[in-house]
Structure 1
Amino acid sequence: MKPTTMFTSAIAALTMATGLAGAAAAQTYPEKPISMIVTWNPGGSTDVLARLLAEPLSKELGTPVAVTNMAGGGGSLGTQAALDAPKDGYTILATTSGNHVLTPLKNDVGYRYDDFEPIGQLVAASIILTVREDSPWQMLDDFVEAAKAEPGKYLFGAVPDVAPHLTLLALTDTAGIDVVHLPQQGGAPGATALLAGDIDLLPANAATVASSIKAGKMRGLAVFSAERDKAFPDIPTAKEQGYEVYGSPFVGLAVAKGVPDDVLKTLRAAFDAVAQDPEFQARALKSASELTYLPAAEFGKVWERDWNTYAPMLQK
């Protein structure tokens, strides 16, 4: 055999052996425990959901999934740790709108939303635009007409640069209206300000205003989700009313780009199976909130949508 031919054959054999080894590694994944990083403190809503998910996900994958809290830097500390970990599928990220989209848009934290691969969405909270029960506005158009007639007259309350605030800004941009932001220290203080008459509108997570809406003290003009909130079926979406504005803070799973495709496929299949299991859905509803599951491809579109929505407001 000629030397060139021998060399070519050796390279081919080595390539085949490497490919078979890689395939074997993918087929045996996972072989050891998986770490799920939560970028917020223990006991918070994301932590509760992550721990609720970890047990059935462990059973589905056949290996322990352990939750590790790494809070700090608006969620960037844990997110960067997930990005820096070996790209082997043994570190996954419980990601949220805050650490994944808002923080990297507001600060130079060294990563973007698309440095990660989506596994799937677990929850997307509804943001509802509310007014007092005695407000003359019954629908979103009523408010928009009033705001156009008297620019700068009406006040809305929200914590600066978080999802409710940014969603209302997106609405003002889409509708071409001018309303004044009165910063709040949290959702609950904002609700108190609305009921006291200190502000005219309050964009807030559904959980913040649910009791006041059900008690008839507040009225929802619009929900900023792709579909109506099942807990408030009578409140139409902004899109239904002609304003394609979305604001749904999410919680889901992601991994850093570079994880092998077969490993990623395994993680996605396990997540999909758990998220769509009726028993898990019932446990989530009882312990945390109603699931708004999305598979990987759709979850990735949410990342891109939210990034493009909030970038003009935060990257000034």
Structure 2
Amino acid sequence: MRSVLKKRSAMHLKVSAGLVGISLALVGCGAGGAARANDGSDYPKKPVRFLVPFAAGGPSSMTALAYASCLERSLGKPVVVENKPGGSGGIAMQELAGAKPDGHTLGLGTNGPLVMNPIVNKLGYSLADFTSVGVMAEMPTVLVVGADSPFADAKEFFAAAKASPGKLSVAVPGATTSAAIELTRLKSDYGIEVTAVPTAGNAEMTTNLLGGHVDALFITDHSDVAARIADGSFKPLAISSPERAAWYSEVPTLAEVGFKDLVNAVSVFGVVGPKGMPENVVSKLEGELKTCAADPGVAEQVGERFVPDEFAGSKELHTAFTAMQDLYQPLLGK
């Protein structure tokens, strides 16, 4: 997949510099030995925990499992994925922020839990409390309806939404996800109101649509979504990426149907750790992550279309999350 990270940086967003380096003062032979013992040169010393802020079975969990398996082989220690849903991802992120910054506790960082949740809610962490390592996957969000929906295309859907504000319901994967926020911007910037229905993820969203409980989904694209589109149970109306997706070539972008600024509901799944990780631990993880991103087995499990063609490392991931924060802070900050 062609990465959207560079596109975001071209949107005239104010982007901060990358990670802050950590310098170690070494005084004398004894101090040098102690410093080397703590600088991560022998990392990892024990199993690595990998926290995922969503329930098992969804795109984030499947991505984490694919990369964890690869990292486990390259690092020589178990990498154990732990799903910790709740609090719009805040439970996992809070635990990660408070973990020892030695690289033995990592997590999946993405738009909602890492960036938007602490802007919207009073939490014990912010983006500044994390170290970025690198990108695992990027997944656009797709607006879909059921096979029996009366809406043939996006224009019909949005015309109906404009005619009856709040009547149409759209399930989203969480209250502070980029999908949910973009629907808020649909109202504030374009005067079209739909009712967002927060869920725990793709599985619950699918059940809601097939059961007739919502009119549409604004759902993170993944293999499960592609399968539903292929079998006809989902009908795609629009996609959130800046450009059309090659695998849905007939599906217009939201920008094409009149919403030129609604191009930010693309989930970036990155590896993050607590603030203050040693530079050489970050560098080692970044290198191993890059190798895993090029592994055909990982690409097959995650979905080749979702793994960026060009690997984005620590600085690029940090820049992307900072750009998101700069974009949404004025919109969501209280």
> TM-score interval w.r.t. the shorter chain?
0.7 to 0.9
Q: Residue type of the partner of 1:275?
A: A
* Larger RCO: 1 or 2 (CA < 8 Å, sep 6+): 2
Which of 154, 179, 183 is the matching residue for 1:168?
183
Match of 1:222 in 2: 238
Name the SS of the counterpart of 2:266 in structure 1. Answer: coil
Structure 2 equivalent of residue 261 of structure 1: 279
Where structure 1 has 5 or more consecutive residues not aligned to the other structure, the ranges are 1-11
How do 1:82-101 and structure 2 match up within 5 A?
82-101=96-115
Aligned residues: 296
Matched, 1:238 2:238: no
2:9 alignment counterpart: none
Choose the corresponding residue for 1:278, options 286, 296, 301: 296
Whether the aligned pair in 1 keeps the contact of 2:107 and 2:271 (CA below 8 Å) is yes
Cα shift readout 1:10-46 (whole Å, capped 9, x = no counterpart)? xx98368746764575473315124223244774334
Instruction: Give the corresponding residue for 1:304.
Output: 322
AA aligned opposite 2:295: D
What is the distance in 2 between the residues matched to 1:295 and 1:82?
A: 20
Letter matched to residue 30 of structure 1: Y
In 2, Cα distance between equivalents of 1:44 and 1:200: 23
SS in structure 1 of the partner of residue 248 of structure 2: coil
- Aligned-residue offset at 1:59: 2.8
Q: Distance in 2 between matches of 1:79 and 1:147?
A: 35
Higher mean Cα deviation, 104-113 or 64-73?
A: 64-73
Using the aligned pairs only, state the percent identity. Answer: 23
- Output the amino acid matched with 2:261: E
* Aligned-pair CA distance for 1:248: 2.3
TM-score, normalization: structure 1?
0.74
2:191 alignment partner in structure 1? 177
Q: Distance in 2 between matches of 1:310 and 1:55?
A: 34
Amino acid at match of 1:113: L
Note the alpha carbon deviations across 1:126-173, whole angstroms, 9 max, x for none.
Answer: 211234677566455x6656766x462752322561533322223333
RMSD: 3.8
Q: Does 2:146 correspond to 1:129?
A: no
Contact 2:49 2:81 in 1 (8 A): yes
1:251 correspondence with 2:269: yes
More helix by share: 1
Q: Equivalents in 2 of 1:135, 1:237: separation in Å?
A: 20
Structure 2 match to 1:14: 27
Tell me if structure 1 keeps the 8 A contact 2:53–2:86: no
